[in-house]
Structure 1
Amino acid sequence: MHIDYSVRRLSLPARLAAVVIALLSVVAGLHAEVRLPVIFSDHMVLQQGQSVPVWGWAAEDELVIVQYRDQVVQTRAKHGKWQVKLAAMPASARPFSLRVLASNQIELKNVVVGEVWVASGQSNMQWALRQATNGDAAAAASANPNYRLFYVPRVKSPTPLDDIKGEYNKARPAWAVASPENTPDFSAVAYYFGRDLQKAKGVPVGIIHTSWGGSPAEVWMSERVLTGNADYKQSIVDAYPTAVKNFETAKARYVEQAAKAKAAGTPAPRQPNDPWRPTELYNSMIHPLIPFAIKGAIWYQGESNAGRAWQYRTLFADMIRNWRQDWGQGDFTFLTVQLAPFTKILPEPADSNWAELREAQIVASKNVGHAGTVVITDVGEENDIHPKQKEPVGARLALLARKLAYGENLVASGPTFKSVSFSGGKATVTFSDTGKGLEARGGELKGFAICGADGKFVWATAKIVSPDKVELSSPSVKQPTAVRFGWANFPVVNLWNKDGLPAHPFRTDNFPLTTQPKPAPAKK
């Protein structure tokens, strides 16, 4: 929402501000009822250190006054909408009421100032705390007046919505103070992230959780961005009608086969999935939040885009830019969780679209700036795409946020590839982000592969030769030319730094990838 309204700002002592509000309420004219978006409610957290937009709806030209603490700001509604901005405030756990006065008065109670983050993605972000390892114990100990949660209902829309629709737990969505009653169904990753961040920063923290299992990145993007890119328009937007037709055909076939299976007493076939409409979750679960003031976003998604990992390099980067541009709050911090290990462990090095997706996540983050990725190669499950260990994921996100968003001087990343050299039949890899030094957890180093001029990768013998270097060799590769580490759907790796963070998967080659489009044949 970008509205240029004439705004008058008064800075008054809190008691005097309340008196002004009371007096103005007596003389307020009779107009249509002023409304606030659903994201504004009791127990909310306002972002510290930056201006805070407050907006809503009212009758044309209606005077709207907003008061919080010692600030009183007023404007008039235009075209039924209004917006003001509260001046930047320091963090404070002391609760105040936020009041909005027009023809009616709205009072939001127990409003504090601190850090606000958005948590989004697909099923691994949606995964509830009660479903996670030790989640019940975490929920039982979750009571914290300085930790607030907001759960955006899962609703789809073909067009952008001005406000959040739907219900959460059969009620209007609202901010809630973290407690054993409301945390079990909240996102486990988001909960652990916010819990650790609140403990580290010592200020109120609010998490807005908005995710949907199975969703690809393109449903979290605006129509403007998708149609403005020729590749996205052709492969995503224009392909949607065909996907719908194919779904209808598959659905009819399923109904027929299910009836036959029932008559024969055999298991029914798998039901086809309704195709995702591009933009539909951006429209309903992101757009209504804008321009609520936030510090940053955490993102756990990519499984549904692994088959298009090469495209994800630009698609994901453009999604981040899309959110930042529409929010209008600069390049806020954007943190991503790399895909966890999944599917069968392979005995030999092989191509992997999940490895390509992990690389795409890093490429996108580097291209947009003020972004980073966390590695979770230690929490995967071969037979479950939803690993139950969510606490390490949230903890690493919080650690990275402290470094990137808040400028703390700490080690927030595992060892990261820096350079490689080849000499004497060996490859020597140098890492950054080694902290107190490299270490192998649980025996000899695993997960390194090298190749020679033939491009065929084989497992390498690896050993740590200095605090930031690993030496690789193999009797079957006389002259190594490239290195890969953790390059698999389910990487089996054990290189960490002594600060307790696993190494980033990487490759040094530029061989064509499985999801990379093949070059067009040369014209004759």
Structure 2
Amino acid sequence: MKRSGVVAVLILLLCCFGGYAEVVLPKILGNGMVLQREKPVPIWGTAAAGEKVTVKFNKQTKTTTADAAGNWKLMLDAMPASAKGATLTISGTNTIKLTDILVGEVWLCSGQSNMLYEMRKNSKVNKPDTMTTAYSPVDEIEHAHNPQIRIFLVTQKNLAKPDSTHSGWSIAQDSALRAFSAAGYFFAKNLNHDLNVPVGVVCAAVSGSRIEPWIPETAFAESPYFKRVSKDSAQVSGADGKFWHRMISPLAPLAIRGFLWYQGEANMTETVSYIHKMQLLINSWRDAWHEPTMPFYYVEIVPYYYSKMKSTVTISPQMLPRFWETQSQVQNIPNTGMIITTDLNDDVKNLHPPFKWEVGRRLELLALAKTYKKPVVYSGPVYKQMHSSENKIILEFTGVSKGLISRDGKPLNYFTIAGTDGVFVDANAVIKGNTIEVSTPSVSKPTAVRFAWSEDAQPNFYNKDGFPAAPFRTDNPLKFNPTDN
């Protein structure tokens, strides 16, 4: 054999039995991570075809063999929470040791800029006038040194190839925390406090992103609804799945408890089409994790002057409340929930308001109640039904809890009423027990009421637990059935 041929064979052998044969892990599996408690935990990666891979963690030892494509996956048995760091060892022709691994609760948060809104921005906002905590949440970075809270920030590039240092996870402190989602962090902080278990949060969000790129493009092609509206290209603009492919799909099958979503500003001119997109997103993500009822909790977008923005379409002050109504209907999809944020913008000219600590707190209370089945209040008043009585309309609500109040002690605001002419005017709204009586002298036979039906609405109608009422209209409200296509 010629010398050149010998060299070629040696190179081929080195490729087969050297670097190509090594066990390689995805970026999301790394030092300092949190494994989901009380669920089977997938560990996966690549190796040479047919290579035996062994995983050891605590008292468990599991073995599998890489398939013909070099992919392998095995499952660790479900485990209780553990705040004591342990080593996860993965062995093939090489050995990888992931250190300081905890077991607890893991959540994935995603969306656009208000979810991405970093803790470094949180540290620069004005401090609230009154706080019940020992220090202001604005100063959280100075106090955050809890090793039971771990974070992982996904970018559009960092999941593309493995990292031999296995260093993507961090304790929620210092520079790593400064760059991390404020809403995601405060969710984790509250959850860690209330459950007393380690919490890991993965954030995959992109500023300004519409919902479409977070959905696999095949979902649109298979959707009966979007097949019908496909002639309207605006309905599926940007449906290329690029964020799904780069930032969500590579995370599966990481064992997690559920999803947190804060997006909608980029789609707020939509109604029914956005609900169907949310349904596609929720179903696609649940399918990727093979859990058809995985919790999905999301955030109502805040009051903002959209009508004063430069836009290619005309935006009225009522378009935002219609989108709030749209968002609320997504809750008809099983195992979902939404928090209200009409009180969480101190300047309706600001699309990126502070108070992300309260966004995180409300999301955590929602999860505590619906996922962890804790007896906590997580919602304000939600319109249930109405009936007319002489010259008044009487409104009934769920989410009353301890009772209804005006938060500032002033007359309830942002209520309007209309008669048979359909013209809405400002109305007097009075709390009567657990109901609201709405009337005005100028409307003798009222037929409908609207509440917070304007983009700048920041009403004072709350329950006594401190949660704001959800915006609503009694006339022709949007109704969504998740079984409709």
Instruction: Work out whether the TM-score is over 0.5.
Output: yes
Match of 2:460 among 494, 503, 512: 494
Match of 1:310 in 2: 272
Query: 1:455 aligned to 422, 428, 438, which one?
Result: 422
- 1:197-276 equivalence runs, <5 A: 197-232=191-226, 239=233, 276=238
Report the AA paired with residue 229 of structure 1.
S
Q: How is 1:40-119 mapped onto 2 (pairs within 5 angstroms)?
A: 40-78=29-67, 79-119=69-109
Q: 1:431 to 1:209 in 2, by over 3 A?
A: same
Offset, 1:318: 2.0
1:50 is aligned with what amino acid?
K
- Compute the displacement of 1:180 (Å): 2.6
Aligned-pair distance for 1:351? 5.7
1:233 deviates by 5.4
1:146 and 1:203 in contact (8 A); partners too: yes
What SS does structure 2 have at the residue aligned with 1:307?
coil
1:125 to 115, 118, 127: 115
Identity score, percent: 36
Structure 2 counterpart of 1:219, which letter?
Answer: P
SS in 2 for 1:183: helix
CA distance in 2, matches of 1:182, 1:326: 28
Matched, 1:378 2:373: no
Confirm or deny: 8 A CA contact 1:486 1:492 kept in the other structure.
yes
2:353 to 387, 397, 411: 387
Aligned to 2:145: 143
Asked whether the equivalents of residues 217 and 239 of structure 2 are also in contact (C-alpha less than 8 Å), the reply is no
Distance 2:461 2:473 in 1: 15
Aligned residue for 1:181, secondary structure, equals helix
Query: Structure 2 vs 1, CA of residues 238 and 479 (structure 1 numbering), >3 Å: closer, same or farther?
Result: closer
Of 389, 392, 395, the match for 1:426:
392
- The answer to whether the 8 A contact 1:450-1:457 is kept is yes
Instruction: Give the aligned residue type for 1:77.
Output: A
CA contact (8 A) 1:130 1:136 kept: no
Inter-partner Cα distance in structure 1 for 2:116 and 2:229? 27
Contact map agreement 1:236 1:278 (CA 8 A) in 2: no
Matched with 1:165 is: 160
Partner SS, residue 496 of structure 1: strand
C-alpha distance in 2, partners of 1:430/1:374?
20
Q: List structure 1 runs of 4+ shifted beyond 4 angstroms.
A: 233-238
What is the distance in 2 between the residues matched to 1:308 and 1:68? 48
Q: Residues 136 and 444 from structure 1, CA distance in 2 versus in 1: closer, same or farther, beyond 3 angstroms?
A: closer
The 2-side partners of 1:237 and 1:146 are apart by 50
Residue 3 of structure 2 is matched in structure 1 by none
1:394–1:371 CA distance, 2 compared to 1 (3 A):
same
Preserved contact between residue 116 and residue 296 of structure 1 (Cα < 8 Å): yes
Deviates more, 1:230-239 or 1:198-207: 230-239
Distance 1:311 1:277, change over 3 A: closer
C-alpha separation between the residues in 2 aligned to 1:458 and 1:351?
A: 15
- Whether contact under 8 Å (2:30, 2:166) holds in the other structure is no
Per-residue CA deviation, residues 95-119 of structure 1 (Å, 9 max, x unaligned), is 1111111010011000010000011
Q: 2:155 aligns with which of 134, 141, 153?
A: 153
Q: Secondary structure at the match of 2:378?
A: coil
SS of the counterpart of 2:140? helix
The one-letter amino acid paired with 1:121 is: G
Can you list the C-alpha shifts for 1:294-334, whole angstroms capped at 9, x where unaligned?
11111110011111122112211221111111111331111
How many Å apart are 1:460 and its aligned residue? 1.1
For 1:148, give the aligned amino acid. Answer: R
User: Which one of the candidate residues 362, 384, 394 is aligned to 1:396?
Assistant: 362
User: Which amino acid is 1:372 matched to?
Assistant: G
CA distance, structure 1, for counterparts of residue 240 and residue 446 of structure 2: 44
Give the number of equivalent residue pairs. 439
Residue type of the alignment partner of 1:430 = E
What's the CA shift for 1:486?
1.2
Higher mean C-alpha displacement, 129-138 vs 207-216? 129-138
Please list the CA deviations of residues 251-307 of structure 1 after superposition, one character each: whole Å capped at 9, or x if unmatched: xxxxxxxxxxxxxxxxxxxxxxxx845311011110000111111111110011111
Structure 1 residue identity aligned to 2:268: A
The secondary structure found in structure 1 opposite 2:32 is coil
1:116 and 1:64 map into 2 onto residues whose CA distance is: 25
Q: Any conservation in 1 of the 2:307–2:317 contact (CA below 8 Å)?
A: no
**Contact 1:343-1:490 within 8 A present in 2 as well:** yes
Query: What's 2:24 paired with?
Result: 35
Q: What does the per-residue CA deviation read over 1:23-56, in whole Å, with 9 as the maximum and x for residues that have no partner? A: xxxxxx9770111110000000000111111110
TM-score, normalized by length of structure 1? 0.79
* Equivalent AA in structure 2 for residue 382 of structure 1: V
Which of 306-315 and 337-346 deviates more?
337-346
Q: Which moved more, 1:354-363 or 1:457-466?
A: 354-363
Change over 3 Å in CA distance of 1:490–1:172 after alignment to 2: farther
CA contact (8 A) 2:31 2:166 kept: no
Counterpart residue type for residue 27 of structure 2:
V
Q: Per-residue displacement from partner, 1:62-112 (whole Å, max 9, x unpaired)? A: 101111111111110112100001111111101111111101001100001
Partner of 1:478: 444
**What is the distance in 2 between the residues matched to 1:204 and 1:73?**
24
Matched letter for residue 377 of structure 1: T
Q: What one-letter code is carried by the residue in structure 1 that aligns with 2:399?
A: D
**How much has 1:229 moved relative to structure 2?**
2.0
The SS at the match of 1:73 is strand
Partner of 2:303: 341
1:257 matched residue in structure 2 = none
Question: Quick one: which amino acid aligns to residue 164 of structure 1?
Answer: L
